[in-house]
Chains A and B, each alone.
Chain A
């Protein structure tokens, strides 16, 4: 076994460094354990009125739930949609917001009322409304050989003469129902019939 003094010195040095590191590491470990023990001791020494505090917590929770049931409903509501609905509902629980909403609705109603009943000048043609109410107006010419009584009795049933006789014995008549138009066509008393506009 060769005894190289330099090598021997190096080995000694490495061993010492290793031992020192080991010592430091062990010190650190024991330091951490020591800290842990100190903390454990401190926790054990604590005096805490646990029951009294728990009672206080419960009272506060009950009080808050009573004061704000909406929050509780939000908590219970499952899903975002339900939560959102509860929040909207919650807005109406706030008196100032509820009154604000009523006032806004009132303004909308008043505005709509005035819009509908605004007295804007309206311009209408002379014939405006004549063709309204689904009544139809026709220009007709009766046959020459038709008796006057037949014409009168026919017209008295459902029709009304609006104008006439005009040139070429043209009458303007109003017919209320579609069926009567067909009846008039089939009656055989008309020479000519066309829709008037």
Chain B
């Protein structure tokens, strides 16, 4: 998959519109899902998705293959989403949100019979927590890859994953009560 995406980007760099359409069809849902997780607004997410692909078209020639193609694309989408946040002055600080109490390591599965609760919990998470879980558990990126993508140390990635899970557990506990 990664090699295929990389090949498509190289073709796009030489103005291959067919390759662009192929790339769009291959990843548009994944990128949209990621953006939606951040902005939590379908219309805005669709706009950012469009911006992301316009940016891919424009800067494909600058893709050097130093990172995975999907990492590069998600990086573009993330930058655009952050620009949106800045525009709206809605930047959240995760430390200011969701006061956490020390939760135990009880598994989600044991707590919730219905996965719908978990999905609802994920929807309620702050965008930074949702993002880190998305990248780690849905996209399956390694901590090192996430660290590069988000320009944060690997240890920060680990602690953010830990806090995100903790916040999720708390949200789910509150929902249960």
Contacts and interface: CB of A to CB of B under 8 A. Distances in A.
B138 A36 contact: yes
Interface string B48-70: 01100110011001000000000
Interface of B: 15, 21, 24-25, 28-30, 32-33, 36, 46, 49-50, 53-54, 57-58, 61, 105-110, 115, 118-119, 122, 133-134, 137-138, 165
A43 B24 contact: no
Nearest to A32: B137
A99 interface: no
Contacts of A64: 54, 58
A53 B51 CA distance: 10
Nearest to A38: B118
A39 B122 contact: yes
Contacts, number: 86
B57 A46 contact: no
A50 B29 contact: yes
B54 A60 contact: yes
B17 to A, nearest CB: 8
Given A30-B107, A43-B33, 18 more contacts: A27-B106, A27-B110, A28-B107, A31-B165, A35-B108, A35-B137, A41-B115, A42-B33, A43-B30, A43-B138, A46-B32, A46-B33, A50-B28, A53-B46, A53-B50, A57-B57, A60-B54, A64-B58
